[in-house]
Amino acid sequence: MTQAALPPIVDSHCHLDFPDFDGEHDTLIARAAEAGVTRMVTICTKLRLEPQVRALAETHENVFYAAGTHPMSVADEPMATVDELVALAAHPKFVGIGETGLDYHYTAESAAQQQESLRLHIEAARQTRLPLIIHARDADQDMARILTEEFRAGAYSCVMHCFSSGAELAKAALDLGFYLSMSGIAAFPRSKDLRDIFATAPVDRILVETDSPYLAPPPHRGKRNEPAYVAKTAAVGAELFGMDYADFARQTTENFDRLFWKAATGAA
């Protein structure tokens, strides 16, 4: 397959503002384009850094952005407000709320604050109709409970970013109509159990991402990840679902456009 024939694909979650990429954005985005990556969403994890993340989206036509307070930062950052998040969403290239969520692996001591922050982000997602971007680690039971409770209180859309949790949380999310996003973790040789969870999901509810600069898929594992490498994860996803790469790329791009409607091709 020549580069010109590469089907378009989207990196639904990356962190272009991280220092790993300083001074390299033009070449990084060019390499992504060579791999067929036509759009990417860069994620702000601390709201005080939103201006620099927004600037990246404003500078590069194919870069969109989202913002929220990462659960691991909740204890050290001001609590986000619904009004603050809703105001940010007025920007034409702001396409999602988060990432937010629960991380009990590293920061279990701030669980109560994380849960409060998560519920605030959910309300902002409701009000803006933008997708919620969820980070979940070692918090499956609380995550499923809160997502379900809040959905019953008022519908919202959501992606479980870099999904690497258990089958029960996957089922809870899918039952609510949410999406699961495949990162490089799903391509690791030892991730068979995770791939089995993805294989039970409807393919029209799957996204792909890098979470770069982290979690580079093979053959780049252990090195800095970047948006171009989402194609490597997508190749594993295509095999998992028994699809040609082009068909899987097309399907996940359609899924992205449905969920991240402000970033959809042709969106105003």
99 a known binding residue? Answer: yes
Name the nearest CA neighbour of 45 among 89, 83, 92, 80: 80
Q: How many domains does the chain have?
A: 1
20 a known binding residue? Answer: no
Domain contains 10: no
pLDDT value of position 159: 98
Which domain covers residue 92, as residue numbers?
Answer: 17-263
Hey, is 231 helix, strand or coil?
A: helix
pLDDT value of position 2: 42
Domain contains 77: yes
pLDDT value of position 225: 97
13 a known binding residue? Answer: yes
Domain contains 4: no
Domain contains 268: no
Q: d(Cα 190, Cα 184) in Å, to the nearest integer?
A: 12
**Burial profile 195-214: b = 16 or more Cβ within 10 angstroms, e = fewer:** bebbeebebebbbbbbbbbb
Domain contains 123: yes
Q: 97: domain CATH number? A: 3.20.20.140
Domain contains 61: yes
109 a known binding residue? Answer: no
pLDDT value of position 6: 85
Domain contains 57: yes
Q: d(Cα 175, Cα 170) in Å, to the nearest integer?
A: 8
Q: Which segments in the chain show pLDDT lower than 70?
A: 1-5, 265-268
15 a known binding residue? Answer: yes
pLDDT value of position 194: 97
The enclosing H or E element of 11 equals strand 9-14
Domain contains 51: yes
9-14, strands of its sheet edge to edge: 9-14, 37-44, 63-67, 94-103, 132-137, 158-160, 179-182, 206-208
